Chains A and B, each alone.
Chain A
Amino acid sequence: NAGVTQTPKFRILKIGQSMTLQCTQDMNHNYMYWYRQDPGMGLKLIYYSVGAGITDKGEVPNGYNVSRSTTEDFPLRLELAAPSQTSVYFCASSQSGGMSEKLFFGSGTQLSVL
């Protein structure tokens, strides 16, 4: 099984450019998440979705947008990239939002904004 697939793995952007980080999962999970991980820090939730057509903000949503048109896909859009968005981005999914529900993660996208 592919699990959670993220593309690209690496990307360098110039300040002000835009890009979309792709995420797809083949486990038919309802919940999907976008996290960012800054050096020496834990993960911070950017956006999440509980199903197709439903998204909500996490802890650090500013500068990002998401959409969820299908169960499988949850792209993250960066508009007007800034150096503060240099980070490693992880997409994750889970079957539900239950207390014990574990997350399945993609391999990450390393983004540098210069």
Chain B
Amino acid sequence: AQKITQTQPGMFVQEKEAVTLDCTYDTSDPSYGLFWYKQPSSGEMIFLIYQGSYDQQNATEGRYSLNFQKARKSANLVISASQLGDSAMYFCAMRHNAGNNRKLIWGLGTSLAVNP
């Protein structure tokens, strides 16, 4: 069964340091997409980055990069030079091609606190 696992309920990082948020996934479908969303205290979910299963390069978007290790089925989010505004919940999600590909499967999230 398709599943997303985020094993870190909470993380702390010092401002200006880098932090890695873990995400592992399980799917038997060779075609899938992986997403990271940020949910600040205001509540709105904000798209950060996307990685396709066939993408040869790791995705990057500004200070966000995705460490995609296909064989290990992991898609870790790396935030470089952390800022106070990065304090939020972070969700990993997967969309797969089998069946209803409009359904995103979500992890439970990781709470990140950036300390000044």
Contact = CB atoms under 8 A, between A and B. Distances in A.
Interface in B28-47: 31-33, 35, 42-47
A43 B106 contact: yes
A106 B102 contact: no
Interface in A44-101: 44-45, 48, 50, 58-59, 88, 90, 92, 97, 99-100
A48 B42 CA distance: 24
A107 B97 contact: no
Interface residues of B, number: 26
A108 B33 CA distance: 25
Given A41-B108, A99-B31, A88 B43 contact: yes
Contacts, number: 55
A45 B44 contact: no
A99 B95 contact: yes
Interface residues of A, number: 25
A42 to B, nearest CB: 3
Nearest to A98: B101
A59 B103 contact: yes
A105 interface: yes
B95 A40 contact: no
Contact of A45 (B4, B31, B103, B107): B103
Interface string B45-57: 1110010100000
B52 A42 contact: no
Given A43-B104, A99-B33, A107-B43, 6 more contacts: A42-B93, A42-B105, A42-B108, A99-B52, A100-B52, A105-B46
Interface of A: 31, 33, 40-45, 48, 50, 58-59, 88, 90, 92, 97, 99-100, 102-108
22 contacts: A42-B105, A43-B45, A43-B91, A43-B93, A45-B104, A48-B102, A50-B102, A58-B103, A59-B103, A97-B102, A99-B32, A99-B52, A99-B97, A100-B33, A100-B50, A102-B35, A102-B50, A103-B104, A104-B47, A105-B45, A106-B44, A108-B44
